[in-house]
Amino acid sequence: MANGISNEELVQAIRRATEEVFSTMLGLEAVPQEFYIERTAPGPAEGVVSLIGLAGAWVGTGSISCSANFALTISSHLLMTEYQAVNEEVLDAVAEVTNMIIGNVKTVIEEKLGGLGLSIPTVIYGRNFTTRSVGNGEWVVAPFLCQGERMAVQLCLAPNRGETLLRPGVANPQMAPA
């Protein structure tokens, strides 16, 4: 994760936030697994993926991905209601948990990276989709085991290079057709 913060520090922040939110808000134990770095964006080809933006001197995206079944577990524990199918309430519950976890991570990493704004979460649910974030972003992926299911909390952060994020050779005004 370039300068500013190490991957290990980031993973520590994610683990603490996830364990805390899971135990206090869901009454569930999330057991951290070995973290890894991924160059492509988060997301199973099937299941639930949430995304929330971070912006300040650093910019990035936080994400949670899990199976549809585990999204039901999260929702049932958060809202103390049984859910049998992924509906709007379930997607909202995953969004809420994403907001809490990444919000906690933000508070910790702000000590190193300066103030960061948190956007609103969007949740994607499907059977056949891929997600991809731009450019050379590396994702720090922190997997957890919970009730026999695997979920992952991941974060992609890069220094804010300005408003347009133009990269050489791509979207360069000199290249634009007349």
Listed residue (168, 43, 54) closest to 120, CA to CA: 54
Segment contacting its own copies (CB under 8 A): 4-12, 20-28, 65-73, 142-150?
Answer: 20-28
> Does 26 participate in binding its own copies (rule CB under 8 A)?
yes
> Does 85 participate in binding its own copies (rule CB under 8 A)?
no
Nearer to its own copies, 34 or 164 (CB): 164
Report the residue from 64, 66, 72, 137 that binds its own copies according to the rule CB under 8 A: 137
Cα–Cα dist 135/93, whole Å: 30
Please report which helix (H) or strand (E) contains residue 10, including its range.
helix 7-21
Nearer to its own copies, 97 or 151 (CB): 97
Q: What is the torsional sign of CA 4, 97, 95, 64? A: positive
Name the residue with tokens 């364990």.
19
Name the residue with tokens 């939110």.
21
Q: In the chain, what is the straight-line distance between the N-terminal and C-terminal CA atoms, in Å?
A: 38
State in angstroms the smallest separation of the CB of 54 from its own copies.
6
Would you tell me which residues interact with its own copies (CB under 8 A)?
24-27, 41, 51-56, 59-61, 77-80, 88, 91-93, 95-97, 99-100, 103, 106-107, 116-135, 137, 156, 158, 160, 163-167, 170-171, 173, 175-178
